Structure 1
Amino acid sequence: MTSSGRYRVLSDEQWARIEPLLPSNEGRRGHPFRNGRRVVEVIAYRYRTGIPWRDLPREPFVPWQTAWKRHRRYAADGTWDRVLAQLLAEADAAGKVDWAVSVDATIARAHQHATNTTRPEQDTGAGSNHRNRPIRAVEPAGHGIGRSRGGLTTKIHAAVDGNGRPLAVVITGGQRNDGALLATVLGELRVPRLGRGRARTRPDAVIADRAYSAGTYRRALHARGIKVVIPEKSDEITARRRRGARGGRPRTLDSTAYRGRNVIERHFALTKQWRGLATRYDKLAVTYRAAVILAACITWSRI
Structure 2
Amino acid sequence: MSRTSVLTDGQWARIQPLLPTSAGRRGRPFRDDRRVVEGIIYRYRCGIAWRDVPAEFGPWQTIWKRHRRYSGDGTWDSILAALLTVADARGVVDWSVSVDSTVNRAHQHGTNLPRTTGARSNYMNLFAEPDDHAIGRSRGGLSTKIHALVDGRGRPLVLLVAPGQGGDAPMFTHLMDQLKINRAGPGRPRTRPDRVRGDKAYSSKAIRAHLRDRGIVAVIPQPSDQIGHRKRRGSTGGRPPAFDREDYKGRNVVERNFNIFKQWRALATRYDKLALTYRGGAVLRAISIWLTALGDTP
Normalised-by-shorter TM-score class:
over 0.9
Q: Post-superposition shift, 1:126?
A: 5.1
Contact 1:126-1:289 at 8 Å conserved across structures: no
1:21 equivalent in alignment to 2:9: no
Over residues 216-270 of structure 1, what are the superposed CA-to-partner deviations in whole Å (9 max), with x where a residue is unaligned? 1111111111110000000000011111111111222111211000000000000
**1:195 alignment partner AA:** G
Query: Which among 45, 51, 74 is matched to residue 48 of structure 2?
Result: 51
Map 1:1-303 onto structure 2 (within 5 A): 4-59=1-56, 61-125=57-121, 127=123, 129=125, 138-302=128-292, 303=294
Over residues 60-93 of structure 1, what are the superposed CA-to-partner deviations in whole Å (9 max), with x where a residue is unaligned? x111011001001101101000000000001001
Q: Post-superposition shift, 1:121?
A: 2.8
Over residues 267-301 of structure 1, what are the superposed CA-to-partner deviations in whole Å (9 max), with x where a residue is unaligned? 00000010000000000000000000001111111
- Any stretches of 5+ residues in structure 2 without a counterpart? none
TM-score, L = length of structure 2: 0.96
Cα distance between partner residues in 2 of 1:103 and 1:296: 15
Contact 2:143-2:164 at 8 Å conserved across structures: yes
Over residues 7-30 of structure 1, what are the superposed CA-to-partner deviations in whole Å (9 max), with x where a residue is unaligned? 122111111101000001221111
Cα distance between partner residues in 2 of 1:127 and 1:273: 26
Contact 1:126-1:286 at 8 Å conserved across structures: no
**2:39 alignment partner AA:** V
- SS of the residue corresponding to residue 147 of structure 1 reads strand
- Any stretches of 5+ residues in structure 1 without a counterpart? none
Cα distance between partner residues in 1 of 2:271 and 2:140: 16
Contact 1:126-1:171 at 8 Å conserved across structures: no
Cα distance between partner residues in 2 of 1:127 and 1:21: 25
- SS of the residue corresponding to residue 142 of structure 2 reads strand
Contact 2:118-2:136 at 8 Å conserved across structures: no
**2:72 alignment partner AA:** A
- SS of the residue corresponding to residue 207 of structure 2 reads helix
Superposed CA RMSD in Å reads 1.2
Moved more, 30-39 or 227-236: 30-39
Contact 1:145-1:174 at 8 Å conserved across structures: yes
**1:54 alignment partner AA:** R
Over residues 156-203 of structure 1, what are the superposed CA-to-partner deviations in whole Å (9 max), with x where a residue is unaligned? 000000010000011000011001100011111111112111111111
**2:103 alignment partner AA:** I
Contact 1:122-1:141 at 8 Å conserved across structures: no
Aligned length: 293
**1:46 alignment partner AA:** R
- SS of the residue corresponding to residue 280 of structure 1 reads coil
TM-score, L = length of structure 1: 0.94
Q: Percent identity?
A: 57
Cα distance between partner residues in 2 of 1:207 and 1:76: 31
Quick one: structure 1 residues 293 and 126, their matched pair in 2 at CA, closer, same or farther if it must change by over 3 Å?
farther
Moved more, 195-204 or 35-44: 195-204
